A and B are shown apart, each in its own frame.
Chain A
Amino acid sequence: MLKTTDNKDRLMMIAFTVAVLAAPVILAPFGAGYPDLMQRFAIYGIFAIGFNLLFGLTGYLSFGHAAFLGVGSYAAVWMLKLLSVNVIPAIIFAVVISGLFALLIGYVSLRRSGIYFSILTLAFAQMSYNLAYSVLTPITNGETGLQMDLDDPRILDAATAPGQLPPPSLFGLEMGDTHYLSFMGLDLQLNVGFYVCAAILILMFYISLRIFRSPFGMLLRAIKSNQTRLNYTGVHTRPYALVVFVISGMYAGLAGALLVCMDPLAGPERMQWTASGEVVLMTIMGGAGTLIGPVLGACIIKYFENIFSRVNDAVVSNWFSGLPDSLGDFFSAIVSPFLGSGWQMSLGLIFMLVIIFLPGGLMEGVTRLIGWLGRLFRSRNNDEDAETTSAKESSPDPHSSRPASPKES
């Protein structure tokens, strides 16, 4: 039993690695194969994986995780400013600082559970946001946001051409470098920044997998299930919860650092409560407590934010240009509020549908689909064995169900 789990995990790890590395190929047909968006997929994937370690395993719903993202971002920019444009020290420093910050907040917040814990974390995050916005302006540069400057010391770097800001790089490989490639009719964009993020995402996914499968992970699930029982079983629950809170905060800090490495700018809005809510949404949408779910949720939400929001009225009316004028206007009137600036409306609709029909998130849908296909396959095999005489012609065509364009609501 446990042996097969090991094998399944190995398979999942390989599949995940291949899928992430081949992302430019997979995403290109969806119009999402450009570096900026793919970097976001990977970075917010890391953020959601970390959040899921806390929420998915222990059930502690942190509503202030964006604070760690923000702290990581600021820490990374400072490293880029002071030390070097190499991303490695920036990432390490950001992870350490956000870990310390999480230790502080977690130590206080974990004295309470349930809604009180959520409110405490929310309060801390809003406090951090307001500090970054006003009081700590010397460190955060307030509303404008912190960015690199020509006068920065960058003590480890050789002098660059005057009047030119060096971009963040990994030992000379610039994050913004992109190679264009044509492959099977697709225009692929292979970007250094994305592959740095992808490599880290794969590593972070592996760490999360190991935690899920460890005795530590089992204890964390027990915290979610019955904390009272666990206390009377001889386990001191709070340090376990604190450790996973810190790990989770470090994941968020890492994501924040990567955001800065891709685009060296950190603003206070990164810490706002909407950003904290977003990662909750990603995790629940994909499937809290599952391994791949959070990454899936992150990709979907970032896809909506970046692709759906770009569809404007002209594009929509173009879709219906083949129809008679009045009918086309009618359809575009229905569809357009859900696109463009109204992308959040369709996201909300999908979120509601997922919560109502798939409370375990999209991964529950995937599991159900696999189970259903498995049963279908088995029953078909049985039918053939029994040599059924019925002349029933079934057309097995489970895919190719094109989304219907008119949506009544």
Chain B
Amino acid sequence: MAILEVKGVNKRFGGLLALDDVNLSVAENSIHAVIGPNGAGKSTLLNCFVGKLLPDSGSILFNNQSLLGLPPYRINQVGISRVFQTPEVFQDLTILENVMIPALAHRDGAFHLAPFKSLSREHDIREQAERILDSVSLLDERHNLASAMSRGNKRRLEMAMCLVQKPKLLLLDEPTAGMSRADTNNTIDLLKTISEDHEITFVVIEHDMTVVFSLADRISVMAQGHVIVEDHPDNIKGHPKVKEAYLGTAETA
């Protein structure tokens, strides 16, 4: 049942052990949150999933296929999409083009050369992109440049760019970081609708506890490179180890 299986992953940066024997199991079609204080190793873990970093040891299996050593584009091609902490979109392209590119990459693979095919003949790709843009209510602005969008809308666009590829696993790196309360709530609603409408597994890395507790089916708490607890949200709230990780113990304080 586990779509993503992380076993004994270690990652060292010089003298710092960023990930120390991390184990994680993400169930299919669930929303799995990874929380923890600053420097706990959450982003390092995510960067290992997407192929940006190579763990020193351990294994990462996606549908029983190892992801270790695969470049980012190859990992995307097996069905893992990611959303960045600060929205990464193609600023100089129109919103529609922003979504057509991932749609093309999904259909044609990592490299497909058709230098003389006209873009205006790609009706399917265009329709797909427009349908997804409609679902995140960006359809009316599709001919505007992405650089003119607000941060909240860029997040929506980035989400649309991931969804058009019909990923099996969507990785979100602090999707509400730096957002206003209203934008945060919109993002939560958006994520909820997506998880209801699509068969997608989410791994969410998050600071904001309201977001985590209103979304997640399961939570892993990280501290100093370890996963200290993995449980249902209700059991996490009052867990003594979690309190300790966030607030420190009475002795050390």
- Binary contact track A196-222/B, C-beta < 8 Å → 1, others 0: 000000000001001101111111011
Contact (Cβ within 8 A) A234 B92? no
Contact (Cβ within 8 A) B88 A226? yes
Contact (Cβ within 8 A) B111 A232? no
Contact (Cβ within 8 A) B90 A222? yes
- Binary contact track B117-134/A, C-beta < 8 Å → 1, others 0: 111101001100000000
Distance in angstroms between the alpha carbons of A214 and B105 in the assembled complex: 14
Instruction: Looking at the assembled complex, report how far the CB atom of B199 sits from the nearest CB atom of chain A, in whole angstroms.
Output: 19
Contact (Cβ within 8 A) B73 A235? yes
Contact (Cβ within 8 A) B76 A233? yes
Residues of B within 8 Å of A92, CB to CB, are none
- Given A5-B120, A235-B110, A230:B101 Cβ within 8 A: yes
- Given A213-B118, A218-B101, A234:B77 Cβ within 8 A: yes
Residue A228 interfacial (CB < 8 Å): yes
Contact (Cβ within 8 A) A240 B88? no
Residue A159 interfacial (CB < 8 Å): no
Distance in angstroms between the alpha carbons of A365 and B172 in the assembled complex: 43
Residue A236 interfacial (CB < 8 Å): yes
Contact (Cβ within 8 A) B93 A222? yes
Distance in angstroms between the alpha carbons of A234 and B79 in the assembled complex: 9
Contact (Cβ within 8 A) B92 A225? yes
A213 contacts which of B106, B119, B126 (Cβ < 8 Å)? B119
Instruction: Looking at the assembled complex, report how far the CB atom of B66 sits from the nearest CB atom of chain A, in whole angstroms.
Output: 18
Contact (Cβ within 8 A) A229 B88? yes
Chain A residue, CB-CB nearest to B79: A234
Distance in angstroms between the alpha carbons of A221 and B94 in the assembled complex: 11
Residue A153 interfacial (CB < 8 Å): no
B92 contacts which of A211, A215, A224 (Cβ < 8 Å)? A224
Distance in angstroms between the alpha carbons of A233 and B98 in the assembled complex: 11
In this complex, which of A214, A234, A236 has the most chain B Cβ atoms within 10 angstroms of its Cβ? A234
- Given A210-B116, A215-B122, A222-B101, A236:B89 Cβ within 8 A: no
- Binary contact track A1-14/B, C-beta < 8 Å → 1, others 0: 11101100000000
Number of A-B residue pairs at CB separation under 8 A: 112
Instruction: Looking at the assembled complex, report how far the CB atom of A208 sits from the nearest CB atom of chain B, in whole angstroms.
Output: 10
Chain A residue, CB-CB nearest to B167: A234
Contact (Cβ within 8 A) B100 A218? yes
Contact (Cβ within 8 A) B92 A232? no
- Given A1-B143, A216-B114, A225-B93, A235:B101 Cβ within 8 A: yes
Residues of A within 8 Å of B118, CB to CB, are 6, 210, 213-214
Distance in angstroms between the alpha carbons of A56 and B93 in the assembled complex: 14
Contact (Cβ within 8 A) B102 A234? yes
Residues of A within 8 Å of B81, CB to CB, are 232
Residue B72 interfacial (CB < 8 Å): yes
Distance in angstroms between the alpha carbons of A233 and B108 in the assembled complex: 12
- Given A2-B120, A214-B119, A233:B93 Cβ within 8 A: no
Which residues, 240 to 255 on A, are CB-close (under 8 Å) to B? Answer: 240, 243, 247
Residue A381 interfacial (CB < 8 Å): no
B120 contacts which of A207, A213, A222, A235 (Cβ < 8 Å)? A213
Distance in angstroms between the alpha carbons of A240 and B115 in the assembled complex: 10
Residues of A within 8 Å of B108, CB to CB, are 215
Contact (Cβ within 8 A) B143 A226? no
Instruction: Looking at the assembled complex, report how far the CB atom of B209 sits from the nearest CB atom of chain A, in whole angstroms.
Output: 27
Contact (Cβ within 8 A) B111 A239? yes
Residues of A within 8 Å of B104, CB to CB, are 215, 218-219
Residue A113 interfacial (CB < 8 Å): no
Instruction: Looking at the assembled complex, report how far the CB atom of A232 sits from the nearest CB atom of chain B, in whole angstroms.
Output: 5
Residues of B within 8 Å of A213, CB to CB, are 118-120
Contact (Cβ within 8 A) B114 A214? yes
Distance in angstroms between the alpha carbons of A43 and B205 in the assembled complex: 56
Residues of B within 8 Å of A207, CB to CB, are 116
Chain A residue, CB-CB nearest to B161: A233
Contact (Cβ within 8 A) B114 A233? no
B91 contacts which of A225, A232, A237 (Cβ < 8 Å)? A225
Residue A231 interfacial (CB < 8 Å): yes
Distance in angstroms between the alpha carbons of A166 and B159 in the assembled complex: 66
Chain B residue, CB-CB nearest to A59: B92
Instruction: Looking at the assembled complex, report how far the CB atom of B161 sits from the nearest CB atom of chain A, in whole angstroms.
Output: 7
Residues of A within 8 Å of B90, CB to CB, are 221-222, 225-226, 229-230
Chain B residue, CB-CB nearest to A229: B88
Which residues, 327 to 362 on A, are CB-close (under 8 Å) to B? Answer: none
B73 contacts which of A1, A5, A234 (Cβ < 8 Å)? A234
Contact (Cβ within 8 A) A3 B120? yes
Instruction: Looking at the assembled complex, report how far the CB atom of A290 sits from the nearest CB atom of chain B, in whole angstroms.
Output: 14
Which residues, 22 to 65 on A, are CB-close (under 8 Å) to B? Answer: none
Contact (Cβ within 8 A) B115 A214? yes
Contact (Cβ within 8 A) A228 B88? yes
- Given A222-B101, A232-B50, A232-B76, A214:B91 Cβ within 8 A: no
Q: Which residues of B contact A (CB under 8 A)?
A: 50, 71-73, 76-77, 81-82, 84, 88-93, 97, 100-102, 104-106, 108-111, 113-120, 122, 125-126, 143, 161, 165
8 interchain residue pairs of minimum CB distance: A234-B76, A2-B120, A236-B110, A234-B105, A225-B90, A229-B88, A225-B92, A216-B115
Contacts A211-B115, A229-B89, A236-B73 aside, 5 further interface pairs with beta carbons under 8 A come to: A2-B126, A232-B88, A233-B73, A233-B165, A236-B110
10 example contacts (A-B, Cβ-Cβ < 8 A) are as follows A2-B120, A6-B120, A211-B116, A214-B118, A214-B119, A215-B117, A230-B101, A232-B81, A234-B76, A247-B115
